[in-house]
Structures are given as structure tokens and as C-alpha cells.
Structure 1
Amino acid sequence: MTTTEAVYEQAVDGFGTLRLARVDPARDAALLHSWVSEERARFWGMRETTVDDVREVYAHLDSLTTHHAFLAYRDGEPVALFQTYEPGADRVSECYDAQPGDIGVHLLIAPAGAPERGFSARLVKGLTAFALQDHRRIVAEPDAANDKAIALLVRAGFEPGPEVVLPEIVLPEVHLAEKRARLLFLSR
């Protein structure tokens, strides 16, 4: 059972208690590295990173007021990495008309021992409830080749938008490769 302070907690029918806690780069880097370095996480773009790289990435993210990273827990066990961001402060804003009240999201579901029917759908339901508390619309931009993520979001009610190319970002503190993405939207 985790003892980190929750920023959100919700009982999700058929799932259990979903808790979100801010990522602590020092505490969580090894766990996150174990997730992002797997082949199944190739679309996350961090497969070649070290634990120190992951710590640095999330320390940088933690320093921003526009981007936030959370560990999602199910009944005390970490099950996903969930990131939110203001689209106007992100490269996605170069690809669509960001509106006031929009929030961007990224989701990486943790590896599971055995598949559990409905797990991902119930997790997304809880996460979207969190994201829509103070926002009118969610934008997601999974890799255009990530058919599983796109299908999951569509089943959760997201409307498919255009396929776009997110531009490369090269800054001293961050490098993001150009990415072909599918925009998806969910309104409150």
C-alpha cells in the first residue's frame, strides 16, 4: 500500500479505488524506468533511457507549472503513469486550435501480469473524470501507429481528430523527436 499524498481519489465501479499522486522523480524513477524501457512502451519514446535519465525528465516536468505527472494507483498498487498539460504550452498547440478549458493528457498503463477484462476502460473512465473536473475538453495525441491506444480512447468516448505531425523540440533541458500523432478529443 502506498503512503503518497493523493491529489485525487475515486471509487470506480468494477475497478476499485483510483488514487492519483504526483510523481516524485527521486522516489519513482526506478519504477517508471521499468515501465518505459519495455518494448510495449515503445510509443512513449523512452526505451533507451537510464534510470537517471528518467529522473531528470520527471524532475524537469515537475519544475513546470503547465505540465504534471501522476502515478495512478488501484487499491494502493501503481498501475499507470498519467500526465496532464496545458495544450497552449505544448507543441500540440501547433497542430490544432487549442481552446480555453482544454487539457492535454498522456497515459502509460503499467505492465500487467495477467490481462483483466475491462481494466483499461475503467482506468480511463476514472482518469478522464479527474481531467474533466476543471476542464471542458481533453485532447490526447497518441502515436498514429499506436492502434491499441487509439482504440481504447475511442471506446472511452473520445472523438477521433486529424492525424498530425508534432514538431521536434530541442531545448537544453528536453528533446522530443518529431512524432506522427492522432488527435482525439473528449468533451465534458
Structure 2
Amino acid sequence: MTAPTASRFTVRPLDPVADAELLHGWVTDPKAAFWMMQDATVEDIRREYGAITAHEHHHAAVGLLDGEPVFLMEWYDPRQVELVGLYEPEPGDVGMHFLVAPTDTPVRGFTRAVITAVVTELFTDPANRRIVVEPDIRNDAVHALNEYVGFEVVDKIEKPEKDAFLAVCTREGFQRSDAMREVVR
């Protein structure tokens, strides 16, 4: 099987009650260690995502491929959530997290297609000028994915739960990225 193109994915709002069991299986999977929810219960997930979906400045969605849930995406206003006081935000900054569902049958290029779809989705909002991420400095896999879609590391920051690289992706950086070059091929 070949990886789908980013345009084949759709997103729907996350339902913290209906999606709690699904998300529990994703965030507690050993490959999701950097999500830092390994010991979470289903009720913890309901509570956490209930708070996120109720928050004015933090949002979550489930990504679908052919109607099947395959990834989680979150986006937030870094002036209000997550990065407050850790960097100087610019107008149009939006923070982002994403998580691909675990699978027993990995497809080469799938996660690249997911992150491309997530960045594309966020840039559909004209108010979003830059996407900001803060992955754990030890998460080499996500650093490579971020670079693939045009993120550039701008700083190392200390968060309460981790040391992180602050990285930024502009619309222009995304358009010049390896992800977009592959779309043109």
C-alpha cells in the first residue's frame, strides 16, 4: 500500500465523550510516549479533551482517511495557551500538535502525509500566518517531520514538562518545503 496524499484526509471536531476510548488507545500506545499520557485512563482523556474542546483558545479534531479516524490534531493560540511567556508571539501565530493513530501495518510516508494535511488545514485559515510547535528535544522523528513541511527551529525552551525546540513554519516556508515539492512531482 502506498501513502495517501494529504488531500485525501478530512477532519471533524473531536467529541471528548464519544472519542475518549479511541484516543485512549492512541495516547497510551508506547509509540506515543512524547504525548505524555501513558498512564491516562479513559476518564482522564474525557476530562482532558473536554477541557480542550471547551477552551476558547485551544481546539482539537480527529483526522479521517476514507471515514476512518487516523490522527488527532490540536491547535491553540500560543499567546493564551501552552507557550505563554516562553517566546515572543507574532500576530497570526497558531500552535499545533498532532498524533498519528498506532497501527500494526505501517505505510511508508503515511505520517508525512498526515503532517502535510495538518499544516495545510491550519493554513486554510487566512488569520494563521505562522505555525508554532514545541516538540521534546529528544523526539528526533518529529523534528524530521517538522523539517519536511518547512518548520525551522528558532530556540530551545524549557517547559515545565520538557525541554523543547521551538520551531516555526511560515506559509512561505511550507510552500518551499520538501512536502510541497513532492506534491508537484
Fold shared by both chains (TM-score > 0.5): yes
Conserved 8 A contact 2:6-2:117: no
Instruction: Show the counterpart of 2:53.
Output: 62
Q: Unaligned 5+ residue runs, structure 1?
A: 1-11, 169-177
Deviations 1:113-143 (A, max 9, x none): 2221221111111111111122100001111
Distance change (3 Å), C-alpha of 1:65 and 1:147: same
Q: Provide the C-alpha distance between the structure 2 equivalents of 1:66 and 1:138, rounded to a whole number of angstroms.
A: 15
Deviations 1:80-102 (A, max 9, x none): 11000000012313221111100
Instruction: Show the counterpart of 2:182.
Output: none
1:187 counterpart letter in structure 2: T
1:155 aligns with 2:140: no
Matched length: 167
Q: Unaligned 5+ residue runs, structure 2?
A: 172-185
Instruction: Show the counterpart of 1:38.
Output: 29
| SS of match in other structure, 2:8 | strand
| SS of match in other structure, 2:91 | coil
**TM-score, length basis structure 2:** 0.85
Q: Provide the C-alpha distance between the structure 2 equivalents of 1:154 and 1:93, rounded to a whole number of angstroms.
A: 24
1:179 aligns with 2:162: yes
Q: Provide the C-alpha distance between the structure 2 equivalents of 1:15 and 1:121, rounded to a whole number of angstroms.
A: 8
Instruction: Show the counterpart of 2:124.
Output: 133
**TM-score, length basis structure 1:** 0.84
| SS of match in other structure, 1:157 | coil
Q: Percent identity?
A: 37
Instruction: Show the counterpart of 1:20.
Output: 11
Q: Where does structure 1 differ by over 4 angstroms across 4 or more consecutive aligned residues?
A: none
Q: CA deviation at 1:15?
A: 5.1
Higher strand share: 1
1:143 aligns with 2:126: no
Q: Provide the C-alpha distance between the structure 1 equivalents of 2:116 and 2:97, rounded to a whole number of angstroms.
A: 14
Q: Provide the C-alpha distance between the structure 2 equivalents of 1:76 and 1:39, rounded to a whole number of angstroms.
A: 25
| SS of match in other structure, 2:39 | coil
Q: Provide the C-alpha distance between the structure 2 equivalents of 1:120 and 1:136, rounded to a whole number of angstroms.
A: 23
